[in-house]
Structure 1
Amino acid sequence: MSTSPSGRRKKDAHQQHSSSTADSETPLRPLQQQRQPTSYYGERKAAGGAISRLKHHQHVHHLHFVERIRHFTWTWFTMTMATGGVANVIYHVPEGYRFHGLYAIGCIFFILNLVLFLFNLAMISCRFWYYPETFRASITHPTESLFVPAWVISLGTILINITEYGTGHAGPWLLHTMCVLFWVYCVLATVFSLGIYLIIWSTQHFTIAQMTPVWIFPAYPLLVIGPHASVLASKTAGYTALNIILGGFVFQGIGFMVSLMIYAAFIYRLMTQKLPQESLRPGMFISVGPSGFTISGVVGMGQVLPRVVPATFMGGDGQLAGKVSMIMANWMGLWLWGLALWFFFVSVGAHWSTVRHGRAKFAMTFYSYIFPNTALTSATFAIARALDYNRPITIVACVMTGLLVCAWGAIFSMMVHAVVRKDILWPQKQEDREEGGWKTQAGERRVCDLDECPSETSPPLGGGSKSDSVLSRPAVDMDGAVDERMEEDVEKDVARRRQRNSSGASPSSAAMRFVDEIVRSSGRYSRGAEDMV
């Protein structure tokens, strides 16, 4: 039966309208409706172009504020650790080396630390409120779990700063309150230190090649008890001060001995596996902290002992026992000071290649440049006091204090810049990233790496008149998202399927089935792309 020319035109227009409608509704289906490529190059172009379109469709370059909160990890509390440490160092600058306004600068760091601590608490609470599953994940993740005690350490530095800057201005009630909070903190530090180590030992499997000084971090809450006890005991008297000193020695000894045993594993790791990779080397400064805090605490408590020991202390002459204890504390501090300096210079030397090649990329662990070195600086001031305020050592400590303040300002500005550039608070950019057997949690959006992502000005996806021209271009001309390895895989697989289907099946249909299999099975593509298919 013949058809009139006008009828054929209406039928062609109806078919064209149906094809364009299908283009707009299912972006990948028009590939199967186009003219079947008969050449090998056309087949490769169709398959590679579809893969490129699928990869480009999943590019996500922006996240809402609430989505970025999901990646607010415990490492942010290293910022408050460092800020409180700087305030503590400024307080310990001795008379004769202070200038007018130095106390005010210390108060500014102290108040700023309180503000930043409340900010961190609010942000981490929002993270767990909006994403409840991240709480359990944060204490079982192989890296982030090591930093859970950071908030306890931050609390410890705040208590030290309150004792230093507040007790002399607020009356005796604050001093009594700090004595109570000292024992509360001792219990809290012990519980968290034991708890985190038990969780790690129960859920994680580390090798010596993975060892870094960050393994010491769960012991850090115990390491700040000694310095706190020395400052608090110097402001109290009698049995109250003596009990604080005795408690400080016990808990400081636990923290240092645990750290000392982990030191052995760290040295063994360096001897067998060389230095850690550049991104992990800031954590090497954590090895400076245990010795530094122990020196500051032991020497400080030893200097208070002769004033507070009773006459019958330890069954003998109390005054003699106090002086002997002070001398022993001074020699012990001097002995450990050398160990702290040794780890400091090892950590500095390990950064030579990083600085020379400019490979350092900001992470919150950069605050490891500050907090452990505040312990070394406070220890240097303590050694200078033990040696009758040795002038050269005191000058070195004052120079270190100035450098720490400058370094804190530089790292804080780098942190703000990194937030703007999406180097932190971003998927796969912080300590909650995928590593080992740890995978991204369900419901988390996949975003592309902004450093390696192709240009956002790639040709748009769409139906209608532009879809044919986009689909007809090779993948590398579209957006460069298909690398040489993927193109080779496409070519090899298409060649095998052409040979397998040479009996009569269209070679292009084999490529189409291959693309469909990639769409259905590849776990690298976003949920949105899978829904689109």
Structure 2
Amino acid sequence: MPRPFTRLPEPWAFVRHFTPNWFAMTMGTGVLALVLAHLPWTLPGQMALAEALWLFGVVLFTLFSLLFLARVLLHRDTVWPMLLHPVQSMFLGAIPMGLAMLIGGLVQFGPARWGEGVYQLAHLLWWLDAALALASALLVPYLMFTRQSHALEKMTAVWLLPIVAPEVAAGAAGGLAPYLDPAAARLMLAVGFVLWGMSLTLAFSLITLVLLRLALHKLPDTDFAATSWLPLGPLATGCLGLLTMGRDAPAAFAGTPLAGAAEVASGLGLVGGLALWGAGLWWLVTAIFFTRHYIRDNMPFNLGWWGFTFPLGVFTLATFELGRLTELRFFALVGLVLAVQLAAVWLLVLQRTLRGVWHGELFEAPCLKGPNSPAHGVFAAD
């Protein structure tokens, strides 16, 4: 067996070159755990496997948080180049989105193992997640508008990452609200609807630009193959958030001046969820066509491949939720097919990631690549 870390660009590169891209791995792993837990049919060992994946995601998130914090504290000269990089900075949104998946798993698996006290922990973590999501949705676009260098022909759907984070937090609120006292649930859902509206409206604007860019400049380079799946993310999370928050609203707002609006929100959530699911289905099929095109071009592996997992996973969760709310078997069958596809993609990407970790080739931050880095005035886009 070859020696590990033979392709590290420098000693301790896994700290100095650690990038927020790695948190996309926690997003993909966390959403797979939730998909397995929400399968419409119970299989032997299903919940044990789902919980093991969630715990694996917790370990990864903890490790990545420590490495990222170490880079910020020990290599402060690398922080500004990362923030100015037109691609790396976008992945800051992956941090709260990864945390949201772990909060969902805590609600799903925690009570059976540690008791109902985990709901309060999940509640506190949700407010942290909402703050991080809001920060990414405000900070990164501000840097885009004032300091970074962008062009329409270089644009990819990676622009969606920082602004979709509030929408993912809103979906997590829908999953947690039924387990909190009514006052806490009302406040969380109110904030969740605000985050949902903030995120989805901006996401639709960016998806419009992505379609324009594709029509004018065709598909991005193979290095950005996974970004073709990213527009599915806000459509799927928008659908899931609308379904879960609409489902929870009547009980949370009962006896308040918003009780009538909450009843309406329940019906509108289902209708709006179906509409967003339809939009997501179009993008799912389109992304599959794009991926077939990229496979013929021998797309190289990079951490961006984790972008194949999260949008597909959230769309699968939304499909299962529609199946439960509509009682239509069609959604259960479609969700099962998507779940199998998600598991296959996750295994493939994990295997390629572990190989890259062993060789050390994944620990090279694009924003620190010598004279072509933002620190030297040129904005790399790889």
TM-score by length of 2: 0.89
Q: Is the 8 A contact 2:8 2:359 kept in 1?
A: no
Q: Which of 64, 68, 79 is equivalent to 2:25? A: 79
Residue 385 of structure 1 corresponds to 324
Matches for 1:114-129 after TM superposition, within 5 Å: 114-129=58-73
Q: CA deviation at 1:111?
A: 0.6
Deviations 1:313-347 (A, max 9, x none): 43xxx4x6544321111000000101111111111
Residue 3 of structure 2 corresponds to none
Distance 1:143 1:436, change over 3 A: farther
Residue 395 of structure 1 corresponds to 333
Distance 1:311 1:199, change over 3 A: same
Could you say what secondary structure the match of 1:432 adopts? helix
What are the ranges of 5 or more consecutive residues in structure 2 without an aligned counterpart? 1-5, 378-382
Deviations 1:137-160 (A, max 9, x none): 111122211112222222222222
Residues matched between the structures, number: 372
Distance 1:229 1:125, change over 3 A: closer
| Amino acid in structure 2 at the alignment position of 1:438 | S
Deviations 1:368-388 (A, max 9, x none): 000111111111112112212
Q: Which of 292, 312, 320 is equivalent to 1:373? A: 312
Q: Is the 8 A contact 2:28 2:310 kept in 1?
A: yes
Distance 1:125 1:325, change over 3 A: closer
Residue 342 of structure 1 corresponds to 282
Residue 11 of structure 1 corresponds to none
Tell me, yes or no, if structure 1 residue 145 matches structure 2 residue 145.
no
What are the ranges of 5 or more consecutive residues in structure 1 without an aligned counterpart? 1-59, 443-533
Question: What CA distance in whole angstroms lies between the structure 1 residues aligned with 2:342 and 2:209?
Answer: 29
Question: What CA distance in whole angstroms lies between the structure 2 residues aligned with 1:435 and 1:340?
Answer: 40
Matches for 1:129-528 after TM superposition, within 5 Å: 129-314=73-258, 318=259, 321-357=261-297, 359-388=298-327, 390-426=328-364, 430-432=365-367, 434=369, 438=373
Q: Is the 8 A contact 2:23 2:95 kept in 1?
A: yes
Question: What CA distance in whole angstroms lies between the structure 2 residues aligned with 1:363 and 1:138?
Answer: 18
Q: Is the 8 A contact 1:381 1:397 kept in 2?
A: yes
Q: CA deviation at 1:130?
A: 4.7
Q: CA deviation at 1:226?
A: 2.0
Question: What CA distance in whole angstroms lies between the structure 1 residues aligned with 2:246 and 2:8?
Answer: 56
Q: CA deviation at 1:238?
A: 2.5
Question: What CA distance in whole angstroms lies between the structure 2 residues aligned with 1:175 and 1:104?
Answer: 20
Deviations 1:285-305 (A, max 9, x none): 111000101111111121222
Of 152-161 and 273-282, deviating more is 152-161
Q: Is the 8 A contact 2:320 2:331 kept in 1?
A: yes
| Amino acid in structure 2 at the alignment position of 1:174 | V
Q: Which of 82, 87, 90 is equivalent to 2:36? A: 90
Larger radius of gyration: 1
Residue 380 of structure 2 corresponds to none
Distance 1:354 1:106, change over 3 A: same
Deviations 1:45-99 (A, max 9, x none): xxxxxxxxxxxxxxx97755414543221111111111111112222223xx121
Q: CA deviation at 1:422?
A: 4.9
RMSD: 2.4
Runs of 4+ in 1 over 6 A off after TM superposition: none
Question: What CA distance in whole angstroms lies between the structure 1 residues aligned with 2:374 and 2:127?
Answer: 40
Could you say what secondary structure the match of 1:224 adopts? helix
Question: What CA distance in whole angstroms lies between the structure 2 residues aligned with 1:380 and 1:360?
Answer: 29
| Amino acid in structure 1 at the alignment position of 2:322 | I
Distance 1:422 1:180, change over 3 A: closer
| Amino acid in structure 2 at the alignment position of 1:432 | C
Q: Is the 8 A contact 2:8 2:361 kept in 1?
A: no
Distance 1:439 1:185, change over 3 A: closer
| Matched-pair identity in % | 23
Q: Is the 8 A contact 1:362 1:423 kept in 2?
A: no
Distance 1:441 1:205, change over 3 A: closer
Question: What CA distance in whole angstroms lies between the structure 1 residues aligned with 2:124 and 2:8?
Answer: 48
Could you say what secondary structure the match of 1:178 adopts? helix
Residue 36 of structure 1 corresponds to none
Distance 1:421 1:176, change over 3 A: closer
Distance 1:222 1:267, change over 3 A: same
Of 222-231 and 366-375, deviating more is 222-231
Query: Counting helix residues as a fraction of each chain, which structure ranks higher?
Result: 2
